Amino acid sequence: MSIQFRPQIKDLEPYKPGKPIEDVKREYGLKEVTKLASNENPLGSSPKAKEAIIKALDELNLYPDGNSTDLKKAIADKLGVKPSQVLPSSGSDEMVDQISKTFVNEGDEVIVANITFPRYLSTAIMMGGTPVIVPLKDFTYDLDAMKKAITPKTKLIWLCNPNNPTGTMFSEKALLDFLDSVPKNIVVIYDEAYKEYVTNEEYPHDSISLLEKYPNVIIMRTFSKAYGLAALRVGYTMASEEIISEINKIRGPFNVTTLSQVAAIAALEDTEFLQKSYDVNKEGKEYLYKAFDEMGIWYAQSETNHIFFDAKKNAQEVFVDLQKRGMIVRPIFATYVRVSIGTMEENKKFIQLLKEVL
């Protein structure tokens, strides 16, 4: 008799992260490789976060505070919510899993966009849910089509704003109109991992205000992008006390490490580093737009730290050809590629190599 696995995971594919720098160096015998594939902060992380980690190194023998008490308080104080409305997690990835485990039963429908963060889809399938996939419109979330996809079986709706991988956003008005039309028994997860990079005034900048009006909304944020703490895996979720309490029941006991907690608290306070991250990203985005315009390359207007563009050539080929030259990007599908915005030096190197490849 052979071992039996859960049928729900039969067709799932493991998540494929951006290719590591060391792998590319080994594969092509390169000494220098630039990675613009995983939307990491090219400035590194806050010096204050590093100092906080060094101070906490003597505590490596102790379990973390399983409640993340100080981090919850720091987030709550900063954003004007109660600590009981905040739940830190090991990056947004873990929280996506936890939300699906908390809400999705066999046969429940989960509405997701067709081109967005892939974990929304895989965790729904993992729990035996039925994905209802709504295509993007002009590479942007089609909220009207999502409204029409709602049925009595709908349990969750995932929104990523701005969206990964396309970088596009929908406005505050569009979001409020959508939330007003969603039945209150359906949970809407609003993932704003790239919020800190947004330049558009029509974006829902004050998402915290949603929590009071819409008790069915969950907001997810991360320290991996603008705060530059991707290696530490730390994010946080805000929702009603009832929702947070229920998700907390299935959370692992020590899911956010001590080093992650102290670094996140310090990063939260370093507004100077955050502003510099925003400025460098904005400048880099404008440079890449100009270069793409000169090359006749179509791209989506981005509100993130990455740009989704049409290479007019097989994305996998472009990916491999750039890798051979020491540049890692992310092929998405067909001829579409995503490139993270780097330092100005990295952006210029990318454009130079892209011209060679195309």
Q: Residue 175: its pLDDT value, please?
A: 98
Average pLDDT of span 199-211: 96
Let me know: does 71 contact 264? Beta carbons within 8 Å: yes
Indicate whether 249 pLDDT > 80: yes
The per-residue pLDDT for range 141-200, each reduced to its tens digit, is 999 999 999 999 999 999 999 999 999 999 999 999 999 999 999 999 999 999 999 999
CATH number for the domain formed by residue range(s) 7-44+272-357: 3.90.1150.10
Q: Which of 174, 180, 249 is nearest to 216 (CA)?
A: 180
DSSP state of 41: -
The per-residue pLDDT for range 51-93, each reduced to its tens digit, is 999 999 999 999 999 999 999 999 999 999 999 999 999 999 9
CB atoms within 10 A of CB 326: 18
Q: Cα–Cα distance between 76 and 78 in angstroms, integer?
A: 5
Q: How confident is the model at residue 322 (pLDDT cuts 50, 70, 90)?
A: very high
Query: Any idea where the domains of the chain sit in the sequence?
Result: 7-44+272-357, 55-269
pTM: 0.95
SS3 113: strand
Task: Tell the CATH topology of 55-269.
Answer: Aspartate Aminotransferase; domain 2 (3.40.640)
Indicate whether 16 pLDDT > 80: no
Q: Residue 146: its pLDDT value, please?
A: 98
Angle at 9 between CA 6 and CA 12, to 5 degrees: 170
List the single range of 25-29, 43-47, 204-208, 253-257 with lowest mean pLDDT.
25-29
